[in-house]
Amino acid sequence: MAVVTQPMLSVEEMRATALESRREILKMIFDAGSGHTGGSLSEIDILISLYFGVMRYDPADPKWSGRDRFILSKGHASPGFYVTLARAGYFDPVELGSYRKTDGLLQGHAHPMTPGVEMNSGSLGMGLSFALGHALAGKMDGSDYRVFALLGDGECQEGEVWEAAMSAAHHGADNLTAIIDRNRIQNDRFTDEVMTLEPLADRWRDFGWNVISCDGHEHADVLHALSASNTGGPTVIIADTVKGKGVSFMENNPGFHGRAPTAEEYDAALKELA
């Protein structure tokens, strides 16, 4: 019999875990010399809430059929995902040092060769379709697992997201929850400058989804949104976040979407995250 759930963390413990995770994320990216900093820092509180407050899984049996599924659609933000998986027990935290290294366990974009990773990623817009496949399989099998997909907000400019949104509602995937990391910045610049996403909540609602908004950095708020029951269809949580959250000069700075900190920046960041 598989472990049904991990020990839950209190909201206070989550806060401490998030601080430590942010330091680990920066260390991974600094050591690798490249990687996606801003989105890893914006998503980490959502991941901690999921893995230590909501999801059931067994790190010793990553493919346990009854597990809840988490699909990282914004696969470039893999450092935040990896530190969470290591803490959850999927692999030795020493492996965090293999991120982006030749023959390392942790690929630049999340790949299922890493225990706990469900989907190959790196091309945007695919995760919701993949998650819907898991959700439909769960319903066919009469299994009660839930499926969570984390999408970037810029990623919602991909057409496939809306193909998946339309079909998830049509096929009644009430076991599917999408979470949008609404940090308002994408690769080049602010999302509003690249392509207008608002009214984002209305757009999802019009596609037949239950829409919940939350503060993506307040664990209690995220947990409340994640525990909200689905009523007859899929649910999307629009999590308001800050890109680069936790490091003053990275926050809301499009320059830190896809680059590593310099040595000086790394030292300054660690001081802020002490």
Find out whether 233 and 205 touch, Cβ atoms under 8 Å: no
Per-position x/- string for 155-194, each x denoting binding to another protein as judged by CB under 8 A, each - no binding: ----xx--xx-xx---x-----------------------
Largest CA distance in the chain: 54
89 or 133, CB closer to another protein? 133
135 or 238, CB closer to another protein? 135
For residue 274, how many other CB atoms are within 10 A of its CB? Answer: 6
Of the ranges 1-9, 32-40, 50-58, 134-142, which one interacts with another protein (CB under 8 A)? 134-142
Strand ranges, E, within 73-133:
none
142 part of the interface to another protein, by CB under 8 A: no
d(CA 187, CA 76): 11
Find out whether 245 and 217 touch, Cβ atoms under 8 Å: yes
How is residue 193 written in tokens?
Answer: 């400058």
Of the ranges 29-37, 111-119, 223-231, 238-246, which one interacts with another protein (CB under 8 A)? 111-119
Q: What H or E segment, with its residue span, contains residue 180?
A: strand 176-182
Query: Least distance (Å) from another protein to the CB of residue 265?
Result: 32
Q: Which of 3, 19, 137, 270 binds another protein (CB under 8 A)?
A: 137
110 or 223, CB closer to another protein? 110
137 or 201, CB closer to another protein? 137
Q: Which of 5, 10, 34, 65 binds another protein (CB under 8 A)?
A: 65
62 part of the interface to another protein, by CB under 8 A: no
Find out whether 257 and 199 touch, Cβ atoms under 8 Å: no
131 part of the interface to another protein, by CB under 8 A: yes
Three-class DSSP category at 248: coil
The residues, ordered by sequence, that sit 6+ positions from 195 with a Cβ below 8 Å of its Cβ are 157
Of the ranges 34-42, 130-138, 197-205, 263-271, which one interacts with another protein (CB under 8 A)? 130-138
Q: Which of 70, 91, 99, 130 binds another protein (CB under 8 A)?
A: 130
d(CA 101, CA 54): 32
Query: Least distance (Å) from another protein to the CB of residue 119?
Result: 7
Q: Which of 15, 56, 111, 203 binds another protein (CB under 8 A)?
A: 111
129 part of the interface to another protein, by CB under 8 A: yes
For residue 10, how many other CB atoms are within 10 A of its CB? Answer: 12
Find out whether 129 and 160 touch, Cβ atoms under 8 Å: yes
3 part of the interface to another protein, by CB under 8 A: no
133 part of the interface to another protein, by CB under 8 A: yes
Q: Rg of the Cα trace of the chain?
A: 17
Q: Read off φ and ψ for residue 180, nearest 5 degrees.
A: -100, 120
Three-class DSSP category at 79: helix
96 part of the interface to another protein, by CB under 8 A: no
Residues lying near another protein in the complex (CB under 8 A) are found at 65, 111-112, 118-123, 125-126, 128-138, 140, 159-160, 163-164, 166-167, 171
